[in-house]
Amino acid sequence: MVKDLESIFGSDVFNKKVMKALLSDDVYKRLEKTIDEKKELDNDIADIVAKAMKDWAISKGATHFTHWFQPLTGITAEKHDGFINRDGDESAIAEFSGKELIKGEPDASSFPSGGLRSTFEARGYTAWDPTSFAFVKGNTLFIPTAFCSFTGEALDKKTPLLKSISAINKQATRVVKLLGVNAKSVTPMVGPEQEYFLVDKEVFKKRKDLMLCGRTLFGAPAPKGQQLDDHYFGIIKPRVQAFMEELNETLWKLGVPAKTEHNEVAPAQHELAPIYESCNIATDHNQLTMEIMKKVADKHNLVCLLAEKPFARVNGSGKHNNWSIVTDTGVNLLSPGHTAEEHLRFYLFLTAIIKAVDDYQDLIRISVATASNDLRLGANEAPPAIVSIYLGEELSSSLLAVSEESCKSDPEKKVLDLGVASIPTFAKDSTDRNRTSPFAFTGNKFELRMLGSSNSIAGANIMLNSAVASVLKEFADVLEKDNSHDSIIKLINKEVSAHKRILFNGNGYGDEWIVEAEKRGLLNLKTTPDCLPYVIKDKNVKMLTEIGTFTKSEIYSRYNIHFENYCESVLLEARTMVEMSNEGYLPAISKISADMAETILKKKQAVSSLPCDYEMKILKELSEVLDDSKALTDKLIKLMGEARIDDVAAKATFIKDKIIPVMSELRSKIDEAERISPEKEWPYPSYGKLMFSED
Ligand code: ADP
Ligand code: MG
C-alpha cells in the first residue's frame, strides 16, 4: 500500500533539505552556490560534503557507492565500491573521500567510444554532476556523473546534454534581457510521458524473441486485438494496479514525481507521466523510471517491455517529450501571456523554435532513430518520419497573418504593429487535438512525439536545445544592434516567411501529407540508415560545434556508434529468427503436416472414397510454407554472412535493403502457418496468450 506521499517523497535522496540539515551554514551555502550556478565544487569542502553524504547513506542502509553514468549504450552504467577501508590489520572503517565523490576512474575500454579512444588509452573518468542529487537505491549510494575520456571527449549522453542546456541558457538569457525581462538564467523543462507493455513472466520466458530482442519477431494477430478500443483508459487490472502502486512508491522515494498513469490503446499497454522538471533531472529520472519499471514488474511476476514495437499490428510504445523554456524568475517563455509585450516575446520565441526545427529537422529525426523506432514512425500509429510543427489553426493563422501582411505591405509601413494584432488566448484543448503531429504546440510547451519508448530522452533534448540555442544566438546578435519594437517584428516576419513550410496542422498520418511535404522540400527520412548520414553534414557540424555541444570528433564517434547499434540490433534479431525458425517453427510445421498426412491416410484406409479436402488443403499449404520458410531461413543465414562489411554506413544500408525484407518475408510465411495450425502444437505462446496475460 502506498504510504503517506509527503513523508516518502524524496526520502532516499540527498537533496537540499537533507544537505541543509546535515551541513554547517557556511558549507551548505557554498554547496548550494555550486548547484545553482552549476560551478565546480571547491576542493576544501568536498571532504566535508562526502562525509555527510556517506553518513546519511549508511543511515539509509548503504554499504557501497557508485558513480552513475549514461554511456552511449543508451542505458545507465554503475560500478559499485564499498565504503570500506582498512584500519590496521584486523579492522575496517567506512570511508568516502571528497576525491571519490568528485571523480571516478572506471575502465572505459568496454564502453562504446566510436573511435574516440584507442584501446591503449582505456581510462575514462566520471565527474560528479552536483545539479542532479545523489540517492540511495538498495545498498548503494548513487552519484550522478558525467563520463569522459582522459583526453576530455564526452563518452556519454549527459555531458553534451549539460552543454546544450548551458547553450540555451546563455542565448535565451541574452534574448530575454533585450526584451526587458529581468532574468539571470533560462532552463529547459521536460516532462516525458512513458509508454510500456506488461506481460506475464512465465509466458514471456517461453518466447526467445522477447527474451533476446525485447520484441516478438513472429506471431499471428490475436482474434481480439485493439479493435474495440476498450483498453484505452480502461479499468486497471488488480495485478497491474499493485505493480503501479509499488512503482509509484519506489519512484517517489527516489524523488521522481510520477503523477499520471493509465491504460493505453493496445491491450497490456500502459503509460506513466511524471510532473515536468529541469531537462537534466528529467533525463536522469526517466532513466531511473525505465529501470525501476523493469525491477518492480519482475517482483509481480510481470515483465515490462520498453521496446517500441513488441507486437506487430498492435500499437507500439513511444515517449512524448514535453518541452518548454522557463526563466529563473518563473516566466515560461512559451506561454502566450496576456499583455502586448508578453505576446511579442512569445511570438519571438515561437519563431526561433520554428526556424530551429526547420533548419535542423534532420537532427531531430536522427535523435529518435533506432531500428525499433523505424517500425513505428510513419506506421499510422506514431507521427511520420517527416518533421513538422503543429500550432493549431488559431495560432498559425495569426502568426502567418503577421508574416504575409508584411510581405505585401506598403514601403511606408514596413511592419505590422504586433502590439495591436490580437493573439487569442489558447484554450489547451484547441491546440492539443491533433495527435498525429510529431512536434505539437500544446498551450505553453511543445510536445515532441517521435521518441521511441526505449530511447534515452537525452538525444532528442540535446538536439532541440542546441538547435534552438543556435537560432537564439542569431536573434540576439541581430537584436543587440537594435532591439526596438520594429526590429523585433521585422525579425519575426522574415523568419516566419522563410520557415513556414514546416508548419502543418493537418493529418500527419495521411498519404497526402507525404506528397505535400515533398513539395515543400521537407525531409522524409524513413529509416535510421537513411537519416544518420545527415549528422555529419557541414551545416550540422558547424552548428553543433559552434554552440558548444559537441566537438567534431564527438560527432563522428556518435555517427559510428549509432550505425553500429543499428546493425547489431537488427543482426541480433535476424540470428534469433533463424534459431526460432530452425529449432521451433520448422520442426513444428513439419510435424503438424505429418499428422495431417496420417489423418488423411487413416480416413482413406477406413473408407477409400471419403473426401479429404480440408486436410489436403491444410497439408498442401503447410508443406509449401515449410519449404518456403526453410529457403528463407537459409537465405537469411547467407545474407548475414555477406553483411560483414567494414564501412558502417554501407553495412547498415545492406541490412536495411537486403536483410530486413527477408526477415519480413520469413515472418509472414510462419505467421500464415500459425493461423491454420492448432495452438497446442505451436512451439511458442500466441499473441492472445501474451497480450491477455497480465490479469
Ligand atoms: P497530456 O499530454 O496527456 O494531455 P499534460 O499535457 O497534462 O498531459 O502533460 C504531459 C506532460 O507534460 C507531463 O509530464 C507534464 O508535467 C508536462 N508539462 C506540463 N507543462 C509543461 C511545461 N511547461 N514544460 C514541460 N513539460 C510540461
Ligand atoms: Mg501528451
Please report the atom of ligand 1 found closest to the CA of residue 432: 4
Q: What is the pLDDT of residue 380?
A: 75
Residue 530 alpha carbon to ligand 1 centre in Å: 31
Please report the atom of ligand 1 found closest to the CA of residue 191: 14
Q: What is the pLDDT of residue 428?
A: 46
The number of folded domains in the chain is 3
Q: Clarify whether residues 185 and 151 are in a common domain.
A: no
Q: Which of 526, 550, 574 is the C-terminal boundary of a domain? A: 550
Query: Among residues 501, 477, 500, 502, which one has the least CA distance to residue 487?
Result: 477
Please report the atom of ligand 1 found closest to the CA of residue 273: 14
Is 431 or 471 the better-scoring residue by pLDDT? 471
* Percentage of the chain exceeding pLDDT 70: 92
Q: What is the pLDDT of residue 414?
A: 36
Neighbours of ion ligand 2 (CB under 5 A): 320
Q: Clarify whether residues 544 and 593 are in a common domain.
A: no
Q: Ramachandran region of residue 378, left (φ > 0), alpha (ψ -120 to 50) or beta?
A: left
Burial pattern 376-401, b for ≥16 Cβ within 10 A else e, equals bbbbebbbbbbbbbbbbeebbebbee
Q: What is the pLDDT of residue 144?
A: 94
Please report the atom of ligand 1 found closest to the CA of residue 275: 16
Residue 205 forms part of a structural domain: yes
Q: Clarify whether residues 257 and 397 are in a common domain.
A: yes
Position 435 confidence tier, pLDDT thresholds 50, 70, 90: confident
Residue 430 forms part of a structural domain: no
All cell numbers assigned to 612: 479429404
Report the half-sphere exposure of 527 (CA within 13 A, side-chain side). Answer: 16
For the ranges 295-299, 314-318, 336-340, 630-634, the lowest mean pLDDT is seen at 336-340
CATH number at residue 360: 3.30.590.10
Residue 615 alpha carbon to ligand 2 centre in Å: 51
User: Which residues contact ligand 1 via a Cβ below 6 A?
Assistant: 189-191, 193, 273-276, 322-324, 332, 442, 444-445
Residue 407 has pLDDT above 70, yes or no: no
Q: What is the pLDDT of residue 394?
A: 82
Q: Clarify whether residues 181 and 34 are in a common domain.
A: no
Q: Clarify whether residues 532 and 493 are in a common domain.
A: yes
Q: How many residues does the chain have?
A: 695
Predicted model pTM: 0.93
Residue 323 alpha carbon to ligand 2 centre in Å: 11
Sequence-distant (≥ 6) Cβ neighbours of residue 686 within 8 angstroms: 219, 220, 222, 674, 679
Residue 425 forms part of a structural domain: no
CATH number at residue 136: 3.10.20.70
Residue 560 alpha carbon to ligand 1 centre in Å: 34
Please report the atom of ligand 1 found closest to the CA of residue 334: 23
Please provide the average confidence, as pLDDT, over all residues in the chain. Answer: 90
Question: Which H/E stretch holds residue 66?
Answer: strand 64-69
What is the CA 81 to chain-centroid distance, rounded?
30
Residue 418 forms part of a structural domain: no
SS3 618: helix
SS3 268: coil
Q: What is the pLDDT of residues 236-286, one digit of tens each?
A: 788 999 999 999 999 999 999 999 888 877 788 999 999 999 999 999 999
Residue 191 alpha carbon to ligand 1 centre in Å: 6
Q: Which residue out of 194, 289, 322 has the highest number of ligand 1 atoms within 8 Å of its CB and is therefore the one to mutate?
A: 322
Least distant ligand from the CA of 451: 2
Q: Clarify whether residues 523 and 578 are in a common domain.
A: no
Q: Around Cβ 680, how many Cβ atoms within 10 Å? A: 5
Are the beta carbons of 82 and 64 closer than 8 angstroms?
yes
Q: What is the pLDDT of residue 427?
A: 44
Q: Clarify whether residues 573 and 505 are in a common domain.
A: no
Strand pairing class (439-441; 446-452): antiparallel
- For ligand 1, atom 11, the nearest C-alpha belongs to 191
Least distant ligand from the CA of 282: 1
**What distance, in Å, lies between the first and last C-alpha atoms of the chain?**
19
SS3 680: helix
User: Helix axis angle, 43-59 relative to 25-36, nearest 10°?
Assistant: 100
- The domain containing residue 235 runs over which residues? 163-411+437-550
Residue 245 alpha carbon to ligand 2 centre in Å: 22
Q: Clarify whether residues 84 and 136 are in a common domain.
A: yes
Q: Which residue out of 194, 265, 276, 433 has the highest number of ligand 1 atoms within 8 Å of its CB and is therefore the one to mutate?
A: 276
What's the mean pLDDT in 610-626? Answer: 95
Residue 529 has pLDDT above 80, yes or no: yes
Q: What is the pLDDT of residue 13?
A: 97
Least distant ligand from the CA of 192: 1
Q: Which of 525, 550, 575 is the C-terminal boundary of a domain? A: 550
Distance CA 327, CA 314 (A): 41
Q: Clarify whether residues 326 and 375 are in a common domain.
A: yes
Q: Clarify whether residues 342 and 240 are in a common domain.
A: yes
Q: Clarify whether residues 481 and 507 are in a common domain.
A: yes
Q: Which of 139, 156, 173 is the C-terminal boundary of a domain? A: 156
Q: Clarify whether residues 510 and 403 are in a common domain.
A: yes
What's the mean pLDDT in 317-323? Answer: 97
Highest mean pLDDT among 20-34, 253-267, 421-435: 20-34
Residue 558 forms part of a structural domain: no
Query: Among residues 689, 671, 571, which one has the least CA distance to residue 621?
Result: 671
Q: What is the pLDDT of residue 234?
A: 67
Residue 429 forms part of a structural domain: no
Residue 532 forms part of a structural domain: yes
- For ligand 1, atom 13, the nearest C-alpha belongs to 191
Residue 425 has pLDDT above 50, yes or no: no
Are the beta carbons of 401 and 525 closer than 8 angstroms?
no
SS3 427: coil
